[in-house]
Structure 1
Amino acid sequence: MSFTLKPRNGLPYAIATRLPRFPFALILLPMLLAGCEAELNLAAVSQETSHASLRTDHYQALASNEAVSVLVGNDGVVLVSPDQGLTWQRQQLPGKPGLIDVDACPDGSFIALGFDNRLWHSADQGQSWNVHALPTEEQMLTATCAPGGAWWAAGGLTTLLGSQDQGASWDTTSLDEDAMLTTLQFLDADQAVVTGEFGLVFNSTDAGQSWQASGNLPDEFYPHTSHFVSLDEGWVGGLNGFIYHTVDGGQSWQRQDTPSTAPIFNFSANRDGLFAIGDHSSVLHLSGERWQTVPTPNAPVYLRAASSGDDHRLTVAGGRGLLLNLDTRPALAAQAQ
């Protein structure tokens, strides 16, 4: 397999002989968003208009702890918000790395993954960052902090990297599949789930020391994102607006009805329920077994980053500096009518 890497808007992307191999190329494809079920009502939408967010920004991931939210994207851009996405402060990491993932750790620090296989760590609420090179030639696509404090990354050739000492040393595990791992989630200190190319689903019950196959996604579905609430129940999203749901640990999957054909790039949950975001500025809310449209500004750009707290607020961000702070209560009230 060969790839041609070119910089675009400061963020490298890959085009392979099999397009879904890397999800980053897909955010550049024009996709049509199906018509909304309800008339747009933007009274609950506030958009960041300060110079912190620029039209040249292309955001990829967002994470929050109790004090701040951290948003990352192309050209090493890092935005930090101390007030749940209402205002932001901007900085740019040295070397302008293309940042593709970020997570909040149990100790309040943050890790951010670069497309160049370097992991950045901030112990001061996103104000300064130290960098660690990952010991692999495989492309890492996702990074997370486990509840016990370990750092993890996953990606090419089903490679998993784990560090118990904040990047000083790493253990390498492979699931022995010629596939990309695209999502990694720890449910608690022991339980974790990974999904990947060709519909792969694996789980761990011993803090990532060993992994077991847990069913397969239909039609070798390529998952851009996943959200599990237990080893038994979870959702995955990807191309064509497809969202699949399992309640038996991945042994069977049911495709849920969605009003959009735009790719799904992320899930986020708050007290109002589960939300999915994707291309063409689409935001969906799960109502029963169906997904319904949440009104947003109609923009032909992707939304990829999402984070929500314990209140009714959902912060989403994506291409061309699009950064929205949504109050999910009016949207739910409109759906109930």
Structure 2
Amino acid sequence: MDKVTAYREKPLQRTDSYQAFAKNDQVAVLVGNNGVVLTSHDAKTWSRTILAGMPSLIDIASCPDQRLIALSFDNQVWVSNINGDDWISIEVPTQEQLMTIDCAPNGNWWVAGGFSTFLHSANDGQNWQTTSLDEDAIITNLVFISEQDAVATAEFGMILVTENGGISWDLIGFLPDEFFPHSTHFATTAEGWVGGLNGFVYHTKDGGRNWLRQSADSSVPIYQFVQVDDALYALGDNATVMKLAGSNWQTVQPPTAPVYLRAALHFNGKLLVAGGRGMLLALDPNVVIVSAGKAEQSDEI
């Protein structure tokens, strides 16, 4: 029993399923199932917190005031202090299932999900404004690129944009073959990438109006993108990490375990990637070389 007790006191546990990363100027925060919140100031040592009620945390974002906001599957927004270790919950007044959260550059909180629904709050969740395109589609990703510009992707390959800070949203086009966008990354309002369960990665240079599929040396499902300086990485199933080279995706960490990677963050000089079964790796983004079926310069936390 002493060994069981000691294991339960560890910050990372094999029963964890990590979902999303965020950071501010002080701390990196990783969230997952059963109310798990991990925080680190150095990408080496981690502290573990379990939120009240053990909610399933599915997304997290950092705000301009350095607070962090996380979304749980029961449509609660969880708000932390700047150290990520003191959390309160706020219920979002909607019957639609929420799937994604972001904090706009002006500090407004945004969530989105079922029935092409967006909600935002300008006063820390006290009041919410609702917008819907009245389309029976689930919004899976939402990201603000500037105070006025944001891009969202949804079921059936829908691409939604706003150019007025979310006052209105426009459907500007669709991904090829009604591709379901599981992950989205827009570097600018014009250039972006989407990935999905079939392992395809599509790229646009005109704000989502036209898309081209990029080649990849792996067919694993893609769950997340992360920018590291001028390099773009993609995370996938079986603990796979790929890097964009020109217009091709090259594997830098090949399949090593039957575990998904869904959360990613560039923090303290490391590329942090995390996913199922409590997997959290710290990769050196400058030395990710495939060697004998294993990525060098990687450390399991």
Same fold, judged at TM 0.5 (above): yes
Q: Are 1:126 and 2:96 counterparts?
A: no
Comparing both chains, which one has the higher relative contact order based on Cα–Cα distances under 8 Å and sequence gaps of 6 or more?
1
Could you list the runs of 4 or more consecutive aligned residues of structure 1 that deviate by over 2 angstroms after TM superposition?
332-335
> Which residue does the alignment assign to 1:172?
130
> Which residue does the alignment assign to 2:16?
57
Q: Label 1:230 to 1:272 Cα distance change in 2 as closer, same or farther (>3 A).
A: closer
Tell me the CA shift for residue 253 of structure 1: 0.5
* Percent of aligned positions that are identical: 51
Kept after mapping to 1: 8 A contact 2:253/2:289: no
Distance 1:215 1:57 in 2: 37
Q: Are 1:218 and 2:181 counterparts?
A: no
Distance 2:261 2:187 in 1: 23
Q: If the length of structure 2 is used for normalisation, what is the TM-score?
A: 0.91
1:145-164 matches, cutoff 5 A: 145-164=103-122
> Which residue does the alignment assign to 1:74?
33
Query: Counterpart of 2:238 in 1: which secondary structure?
Result: coil
Q: Are 1:136 and 2:94 counterparts?
A: yes
Query: Counterpart of 2:65 in 1: which secondary structure?
Result: coil
Counterpart pick for 1:207 among 165, 170, 180: 165
Distance 2:98 2:110 in 1: 10
Q: Are 1:318 and 2:275 counterparts?
A: yes
Kept after mapping to 2: 8 A contact 1:215/1:249: no
1:15-30 matches, cutoff 5 A: none
Counterpart pick for 2:139 among 161, 181, 185: 181
Counterpart pick for 1:117 among 48, 61, 75: 75
Tell me the CA shift for residue 295 of structure 1: 2.2
Tell me how many residue pairs correspond in the alignment: 284
Q: Deviations over 1:105-152 (max 9, x none)?
A: 111000010000001000231111010001101000000100110000
Tell me the CA shift for residue 296 of structure 1: 5.8
Distance 1:57 1:89 in 2: 14
Aligned-residue CA RMSD in angstroms?
A: 1.6
* Runs (5+) with no aligned partner, structure 2: 1-8, 296-301
Distance 1:293 1:312 in 2: 20
What letter is aligned with 2:23?
Answer: S
Query: Counterpart of 2:21 in 1: which secondary structure?
Result: strand
Kept after mapping to 2: 8 A contact 1:272/1:312: no
Q: Label 1:255 to 1:229 Cα distance change in 2 as closer, same or farther (>3 A).
A: same
Kept after mapping to 2: 8 A contact 1:120/1:129: yes
Tell me the CA shift for residue 86 of structure 1: 1.4
Q: Deviations over 1:166-195 (max 9, x none)?
A: 101000000111100000000011100000
Query: Counterpart of 2:286 in 1: which secondary structure?
Result: helix
